[in-house]
């Protein structure tokens, strides 16, 4: 791993602090994403080398890298939190690859000037969760930061209990967050704010340069990407858990996997983060929160928008208009996703109600969200609706919906016709069989920790990764990873502590 360039570092000292990673003693490789390594042009032999292990443990900085912790601020749980920053993440630099440029970041490689009360470390539990979920989201086709590797160590960190530590290597075109913009805006540092915005536009949103107001165009583009991401979350039943503005990517990527959860039974008001007492980040509030966060980004960009517009009233109006895109893009994207889940490529009158009605049924019975959609897909493929029907207690009510749905499906072609087969294919490509349920992650983590018989076993994490990378495929030998959650799963408490 060489040929780093460090374009973020060129922004200047106001944006970061340079510092070397503090590594892990006696590291061992826990997880590797071969797909990610491939995309970066890193071969298996090198990934298995001691050099790779030491780099991903933070023990040596790769040639040409320029490790730095960036500074950002943000709103946490709706309240201005002031300066935050990379408290335990270090950007090594950027690799130029055949598949584009990727920044490489180590998470958990020691304290930085932005660590505040934290120890700069990440525990194995949260690192494996972040690694698996990054790759799972990518497999689901949801915009996300990626993960290359997890390296573990027996060194302990204090959380609710003592836990072993790890470093997760994250990969993304950029790790810039809404909070980076808020940081300079709050401090009235408009020059730095402009430098940052120009950098992001130049590198990631070049089409905005042509707009009358490039900064408003940036806000509109980020709003659209965030809407697409939020729609994908809702459709798959993903709860992020900590949608603070410092956890919102300027590229509309899912970032900072902490207390996230995929829904088991469908409960729209589900709160996955045990630290979120008010339910600010409940599943059904995510779209509104995404919009609220975009509003914060809009506020941060106001000085730049105003510089172009010339007066504050015009700037306000322009910014509001830029944000409006979310209100169109989110419902449009969600509707398209739900249509695909139902195997109905072209929306017609009544489809919206069909979707609303089935979600009401799922909510009433807390039906398993993922299993329902996959069973429905299989039922449409085989024309046998008994297995999906059996998921419901109130079958009479389900039958009413099913009748309406079957009549609607018929308009696309009857069973056995190519048009009908296209519908079931669409469903099987949009309703995953495998998601990263909490209990699956927990089992893989406990094996990796060596909890059962004192032997660290990383094979369960690898097996899980394999199905999550291609979650729409059958993987007939992994049925145990596609079932209902066991009773103990509902007692797992996932908090911000990581």
259 lies in the binding site for ligand AMP (CB under 6 A): no
CB of 61 vs Mg ion, minimal distance in Å: 23
94 lies in the binding site for Mg ion (CB under 5 A): no
84 lies in the binding site for ligand AMP (CB under 6 A): yes
Nearer to Mg ion, 226 or 247 (CB): 247
Give the integer Cα–Cα distance in Å for 61 and 113: 19
Give the integer Cα–Cα distance in Å for 431 and 442: 23
78 lies in the binding site for ligand AMP (CB under 6 A): no
Q: Which two tokens stand for residue 93?
A: 């630099």
Of 46-54, 114-122, 282-290, 325-333, which segment contacts ligand AMP by CB under 6 A?
114-122
Nearer to ligand AMP, 22 or 115 (CB): 115
> Closest-CB residue for ligand AMP?
118
Q: Which two tokens stand for residue 313?
A: 């009233």
From the list 86, 246, 256, 264, the catalytic residue is 246
CB of 275 vs ligand AMP, minimal distance in Å: 9
Query: Which residues lie across from 122 on neighbouring strands?
Result: 166
CB of 298 vs ligand AMP, minimal distance in Å: 21
Q: Of these, 144, 247, 339, 377, which contacts Mg ion (CB under 5 A)?
A: 247
CB of 247 vs Mg ion, minimal distance in Å: 5
Task: Residue 87: count other Cβ atoms within 10 Å of its Cβ.
Answer: 17
> Which has the closest alpha carbon to 254: 370, 175, 200, 330?
175
242 lies in the binding site for ligand AMP (CB under 6 A): yes
Residue 433 is given by DSSP the state: S
CB of 149 vs ligand AMP, minimal distance in Å: 19
Q: Which two tokens stand for residue 233?
A: 């979350």
Per the CB < 8 A criterion, the answer to whether 58 and 122 are in contact is no
Task: Residue 371: count other Cβ atoms within 10 Å of its Cβ.
Answer: 21
Q: Which does 113 bind (CB under 5 to 8 A by kind): ligand AMP, Mg ion, none?
A: none
> In this structure, is the dihedral angle defined by the CA atoms of residues 331, 336, 340 and 345, taken in order, positive or negative?
positive
SS3 category, 436: coil
Q: Of these, 256, 264, 276, 460, which contacts Mg ion (CB under 5 A)?
A: 256
119 lies in the binding site for ligand AMP (CB under 6 A): yes
Distance of CA 244 to the CA centre of its chain: 13
Query: Which residues lie across from 164 on neighbouring strands?
Result: 156
Of 82-90, 140-148, 366-374, 448-456, which segment contacts ligand AMP by CB under 6 A?
82-90
Give the integer Cα–Cα distance in Å for 359 and 362: 5
Nearer to ligand AMP, 119 or 357 (CB): 119
Per the CB < 8 A criterion, the answer to whether 251 and 146 are in contact is no
Q: Of these, 64, 78, 87, 450, which contacts ligand AMP (CB under 6 A)?
A: 87
Q: Which does 163 bind (CB under 5 to 8 A by kind): Mg ion, ligand AMP, none?
A: none
Give the integer Cα–Cα distance in Å for 322 and 345: 29
Nearer to Mg ion, 260 or 472 (CB): 260
Nearer to Mg ion, 214 or 241 (CB): 241
154 part of the active site: no
> Which has the closest alpha carbon to 23: 204, 170, 152, 176?
152
CB of 124 vs Mg ion, minimal distance in Å: 19
Give the integer Cα–Cα distance in Å for 91 and 79: 27
**Catalytic residue annotation:** 246
Binding site for ligand AMP (CB under 6 A): 84-88, 114-115, 118-121, 242, 247, 256, 258, 496
Binding site for Mg ion (CB under 5 A): 247, 256
């Amino acid at each position: 791993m060489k040929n780093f360039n460090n374009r973020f570092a060129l922004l200047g000292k106001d944006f970061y602090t340079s510092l070397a990673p503090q590594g892990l003693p006696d590291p061992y490789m826990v997880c590797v994403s071969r797909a990610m390594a491939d995309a970066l042009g890193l071969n298996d032999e090198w990934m298995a080398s001691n050099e790779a292990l030491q780099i991903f443990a933070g023990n040596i900085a790769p040639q040409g890298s320029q490790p730095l912790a960036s500074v950002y601020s943000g709103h946490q749980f709706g309240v201005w939190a002031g300066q935050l920053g990379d408290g335990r993440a270090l950007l090594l630099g950027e690799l130029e690859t055949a598949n584009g440029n990727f920044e490489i970041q180590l998470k958990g490689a020691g304290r930085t000037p932005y660590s505040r009360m934290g120890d700069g470390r990440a525990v194995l539990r949260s690192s494996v969760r972040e690694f698996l979920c990054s790759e799972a989201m990518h497999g689901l086709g949801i915009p996300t930061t990626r993960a290359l590797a997890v390296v573990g160590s027996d060194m302990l960190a204090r959380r609710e209990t003592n836990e072993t530590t790890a470093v997760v290597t994250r990969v993304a075109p950029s790790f810039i967050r809404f909070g980076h913009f808020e940081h300079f805006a709050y401090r009235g540092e408009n020059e730095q704010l402009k430098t940052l915005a120009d950098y992001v536009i130049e590198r990631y949103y070049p089409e905005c340069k042509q707009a009358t107001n490039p900064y408003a165009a940036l806000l509109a583009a980020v709003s659209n990407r965030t809407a697409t991401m939020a729609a994908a979350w809702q459709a798959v039943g993903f709860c992020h858990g900590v949608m603070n503005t410092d956890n919102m990517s300027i590229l509309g990527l899912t970032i900072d996997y902490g207390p996230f959860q995929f829904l088991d039974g469908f409960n729209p008001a589900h709160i996955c983060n045990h630290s979120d007492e008010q339910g600010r980040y409940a599943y059904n509030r995510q779209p509104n929160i995404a919009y609220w966060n975009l509003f914060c980004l809009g506020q941060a960009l106001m000085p730049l928008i105003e510089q172009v517009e010339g007066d504050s009233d015009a700037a306000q109006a322009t910014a509001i208009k830029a944000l409006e895109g979310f209100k169109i893009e989110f419902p449009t994207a969600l509707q398209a996703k739900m249509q695909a889940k139902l195997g109905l490529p072209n929306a017609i009158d009544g489809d919206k109600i069909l979707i609303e009605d089935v979600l009401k049924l799922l909510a009433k019975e807390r039906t398993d969200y993922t299993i329902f959609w996959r069973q429905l897909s299989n039922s449409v493929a085989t024309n046998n609706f008994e297995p999906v029907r059996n998921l419901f207690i109130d079958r009479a009510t389900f039958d009413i919906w099913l009748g309406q749905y079957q009549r609607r499906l018929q308009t696309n072609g009857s069973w056995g016709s190519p048009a009908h087969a296209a519908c079931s294919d669409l469903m099987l490509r949009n309703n995953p069989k495998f998601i990263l349920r909490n209990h699956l992650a927990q089992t893989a983590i406990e094996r990796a920790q060596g909890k059962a018989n004192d032997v660290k076993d990383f094979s369960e994490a690898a097996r899980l990764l394999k199905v999550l990378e291609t979650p729409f495929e059958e993987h007939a030998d992994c049925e145990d990873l596609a079932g209902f959650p066991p009773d103990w799963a509902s007692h797992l408490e996932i908090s911000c502590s990581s």
